[in-house]
Amino acid sequence: MGVELDFSWPVFKQYAFYTSILIFKVISISFLTVALQYKKRIVFMKEDRKFLKTFRLVSYDEDIERTHRTQQDDLKTIIPFCILGFIYCFTHPSPQYARTLFQIFTVARFVYSFVCVIYIIRQPSRAIAWSVATVINLYMCFKIFFYFMG
């Protein structure tokens, strides 16, 4: 019994679409971090001052640290989503259900970044967005485990 990956299969197409959005988001946060550094005219490493002589050397900036932490959290949730989502495609979920999971995860990660970096809202907004995405990752993990266990 072999498993063949059909790239035209609706579940895989949805997975590929939402994964590409999420990876683009992670890359965009990197550019946002750099843009903030240029806007504030600050650098964190001495060697950067050689090229950016008018920039201040600092060891900490709250706004830039916030974007950096947001990107780190993206990496901790989006990378597992990419791996789990791919394997989840092999559990034969209904296309509508899989699309809904992928959409909710994607929205949750965008909301997380929005309330962390763009329009800072106090807790529990960040915790809720993080929890929604984490629950979806855990759901896919358990679904994969039980599907392939027996």
The top-level CATH class assigned to 10-149 is mainly alpha
Please state the φ and ψ torsions of residue 100, each to the nearest 5 degrees.
-60, -45
Is the whole-model pTM more than 0.95?
no
Work out the mean pLDDT of the chain and round it to a whole number: 91
pLDDT tens digits, residue range 99-133? 999 999 999 999 999 999 888 888 899 999 999 99
Domain boundaries of the chain, sorted by first residue: 10-149
pLDDT tens digits, residue range 59-91? 889 999 999 999 999 999 999 999 999 999 999
Q: In one letter, which amino acid is 129? A: A
The per-residue pLDDT for 43 is: 87
